[in-house]
Amino acid sequence: MLISSTIGSTIEWYDFYLYSTAAALVLGPLFLPASSPTSSTLAAFGTYAAGFVARPIGGLVAGHFGDRIGRKTLLVATVVLMGAATVGIGLLPTYAQIGIWAPILLITLRILQGLAVGGEWGGAVLLAVEHAPPGRQAFFGSWPQMGFPAGLFLGTVAFSAAATLPDEQFYAWGWRLPFLVSVLLVGLGLFIRLRLDDGPAFAHARSRGQLLENPLLAALRRYPRRIVAGSAAALGHGTIVTLFTVWLLSVASGPTGEHRSTALLALMIAAAGQCLSTPAFGTLCDRIGYRSVMLAGLAAAAIALIPGLLWVPGGSLAAAVVTFLLAMTVGHGAVYAGIAGLLATSFPTEVRFSAVSTTYQLGSTVSSFVPLVAAALATTTGGFGVIAAIALFVAAAAAAAIVVLARSVHSTQPAPTGADMDT
C-alpha cells in the first residue's frame, strides 16, 4: 500500500511540477509574448499560480466525496484528469500558431491540473496515514509525500535532457516531450489505483453510520482554529517550494538562460536527496514530535536564503547545490514529511478528507503567488531584501501554526466519532 500510494503520488507531482519548470524556462516566450523577457516571465508565473487557485476547489470536491463514498474512487479520477491535462499541454499550439487561444487554453489546462492535484494530495495522504499502526502515522504519511520530490526529480531530469538540445529545437518541440511522456504514466497510475481499497478507519466509520451529509460544513463548525492553523502551516511548506523551485530557479538560470543547466542540475540533486530525507524525517516526527522536526525545517529553509539570494544568481554550481540541498532536502523535507501526519491526526475520520484537503490547499494556493510577487519586487526594488523579509514573516506564521496544531494530534485508528472540538 505504501509503495502504491507513493508511485501514484509521484506521477501526479511529476505532471504538476513539469509546469513549474516550464514556466521558469520556456512558457513565457512561447505562449505569453510581451514587450520584455521580465514581463513574459511574470505572465508565465501568473499562469503557474492559476493551477494553485484551482487546487482548493479540487480539494473541496474531492474532500466532500472522499468523506462520503471513499478515498479510492477520487484517487482514480484525479490521476485521469491530471494525465489528460498534462498531455494536452504537450500538444498545445503556441501563440505564434493560434494567437490568443494559446494562453487561454494553457490556463484552462493548468486549472485542470490544479483541480486534479487538489483532490490527489488529501486522498493519497489519508490512505497511507489511516493504514498506519499507532505511533507510526508520520512515517506512513511521509511515503506519499516522497511523491513530490520524486516527481520533481523525474520532471527535472526530463527537462534537463530536453534542455541539452540546441535552443532552436528545444523551443520548437523539445520542451513538449516531458509532457507527452505522461500518457505512459497515466496507464501505470490507473493500474495502481484500481488495486487499492479504502483504509480501515473509513470502513469503520461507514459501518457505524458515522458518515456525514456535509463533512466540510461540520469541520468548519467544529474545528475552525485547526483549519486556520493548518492553512498557515501549509503556507509555510508551499512558500519554500515556490520560492526556491520556481522563482529562484528562474533567477539562477540567468536572464538569457545561460545558467539553465547548472540550476536544473542543482535542483535535481536536491530533489533526489529529499526522496531519502522525507521518510527519515517522518520517522523522526514519530519519535520526537512534529513540532521539533518541522520548526527545524523552517529554520533550515530560512538559512538557505543567504546563499540563495547572494550567490546563486551568479551561476555558481556549488552555491546552487548548497542552497537547494539546504532548502529542499533538509528544510522542505522536514516540513513536508510532518505536515501529512500532523493534518491527518488533527481531524476525526468523518470529516478528515474534507478538512485536510481544504486546509492544505488553501495554504498552498496563497503560496503559489510567491514567485509572482518575488519577481515583481526584485524588478521594482532592484534587490532581494524585501523578498527575504516576506519569506521570514511566512516562516514565523507557519511556525506558530505548527505549535498550535501539534497540541491537537489524536489517533487515526478506527474509533467512535471524535468529540474534541475547538472552543
Please give the average per-residue pLDDT across 21-44, as a whole number: 70
Please give the average per-residue pLDDT across 173-187, as a whole number: 91
Please give the average per-residue pLDDT across 408-416, as a whole number: 50
The confidence score (pLDDT) of residue 414 equals: 44
Average pLDDT, the chain: 84
- Alpha-carbon distance 231 to 295, whole Å? 16
pLDDT, tens digit (0-9, with 9 covering 90-100), for 398-408: 999 999 998 87
Q: Which residue has the cell 523539445?
A: 174
420 part of a folded domain: no
pLDDT at 52 over 80: no
423 part of a folded domain: no
pLDDT at 159 over 50: yes
- In this structure, of 15-19, 224-228, 296-300, the range with the lowest mean pLDDT score is 15-19
Q: Which residues are CB-contacts of 16 (< 8 A; sequence separation ≥ 6)? A: 51, 82, 113, 116, 117, 151
Cell digits of residue 228: 486556520
308 part of a folded domain: yes
pLDDT, tens digit (0-9, with 9 covering 90-100), for 225-244: 999 999 999 999 989 988 88
Q: Taking a C-beta distance cutoff of 8 angstroms, is the pair 34, 43 a contact?
A: yes
Cell digits of residue 353: 478528507
Q: Which residues are CB-contacts of 317 (< 8 A; sequence separation ≥ 6)? A: 262, 265, 266
Determine the residue type at 326.
Answer: L
- In this structure, of 53-62, 108-117, 204-213, the range with the lowest mean pLDDT score is 204-213
Distances (CA, A) of 262 to 249, 250, 302, 324, 405: 10, 12, 22, 12, 39
CA-based nearest residue to 254, from 194, 178, 328, 313: 313
Report CA 93 to chain centroid distance, whole Å. 27
- Please report, in angstroms and rounded to a whole number, the separation of the first and last CA atoms in the chain: 37
Q: What is the CATH number of the domain that holds 266?
A: 1.20.1250.20
Domain coverage including residue 134: 2-406
pLDDT at 9 over 90: no
Determine the residue type at 283.
Answer: T
Please give the average per-residue pLDDT across 296-325, as a whole number: 85
Q: How many domains does the chain have?
A: 1
The H or E element spanning position 398 is helix 385-406
418 part of a folded domain: no
CA-based nearest residue to 118, from 361, 362, 390, 375: 361
Q: Residue 299, exposed/middle/buried by CB under 10 A (0-12, 13-18, 19+)? A: middle
* Confidence tier at 112 by pLDDT (50, 70, 90): very high
284 part of a folded domain: yes
412 part of a folded domain: no
Cell digits of residue 195: 488495486
Report CA 415 to chain centroid distance, whole Å. 30
Q: Taking a C-beta distance cutoff of 8 angstroms, is the pair 118, 62 a contact?
A: yes
370 part of a folded domain: yes
320 part of a folded domain: yes
Write the DSSP symbol of residue 146. Answer: T
